[in-house]
Amino acid sequence: NAGVTQTPKFRVLKTGQSMTLLCAQDMNHEYMYWYRQDPGMGLRLIHYSVGEGTTAKGEVPDGYNVSRLKKQNFLLGLESAAPSQTSVYFCASSYDSISYEQYFGPGTRLTVT
Amino acid sequence: GNSVTQMEGPVTLSEEAFLTINCTYTATGYPSLFWYVQYPGEGLQLLLKATKADDKGSNKGFEATYRKETTSFHLEKGSVQVSDSAVYFCALSDLNQAGTALIFGKGTTLSVSS
């Protein structure tokens, strides 16, 4: 049982390049989330999904797209990276809403130059 | 909208000192409240939670009580250890979003020295 895994762990992009971050969970959770963590800002929700085939915008969705084609995977895409997207990205999943804890992956550190 | 405010750090303590990290929230309805901990280089882990008023969450010597009258969820530990050095996040479940994502405070860095 690996929990929540994220690939890659580190990445450096040039402005304008694209990339996809992969999140996978093996706990059969319905809900999955992408957050970004910036110094002094806490974690902010980018996009989330309440089940396979569904996605929705969070607090800071601009410049990102997501897909949930399989229940266990949640992909975060950057079509044209900008320096403002330099951050640490965390994926999380939960069985249900409200009182169930979210399980977090180890994070992806992305630098856009 | 919903929000979480927690005390700014860093908090620097000696081993065996008493710890309090303040957290207050603004929310409609009755959210669940959480404390998460992030050790260096790792993702967040749930430390404790409370789902209704007057509930007390506890884990690893840490405690927090859901106080609806003061809209607070302060984290306490009677005797901290060096291994408690980490960043602590207070969070609430956002009942306004279908996915019920978490709204986090900005985090408080705790550094414990021996």
**Containing H/E element for B103?**
strand B102-104
Which pLDDT band, with edges at 50, 70 and 90, does A2 fall under?
confident
Binary contact (A99, B89; C-beta < 8 A): no
Nearest CA in chain B to A106: B43
User: Would you state the pLDDT for residue A39?
Assistant: 86
Q: Which of B45, B51, B101 sits opposite A58 (nearest CB)?
A: B101
% chain B with pLDDT above 90 = 74
The model's pLDDT over A29-57, given as tens digits with 9 standing for 90+, comes to 999 999 999 988 889 999 999 899 999 99
Residue with tokens 């978490």: B102
The model's pLDDT over B83-103, given as tens digits with 9 standing for 90+, comes to 999 999 999 986 655 556 788
Question: Using CB atoms within 10 A of its CB, is residue B40 exposed (0-12), middle (13-18) or buried (19+)?
Answer: exposed
Distance CA A52, CA A56 (A): 12
Residue B54 pLDDT > 60, yes or no?
Answer: yes
The model's pLDDT over A18-29, given as tens digits with 9 standing for 90+, comes to 999 999 999 999
User: Would you state the pLDDT for residue B59?
Assistant: 97
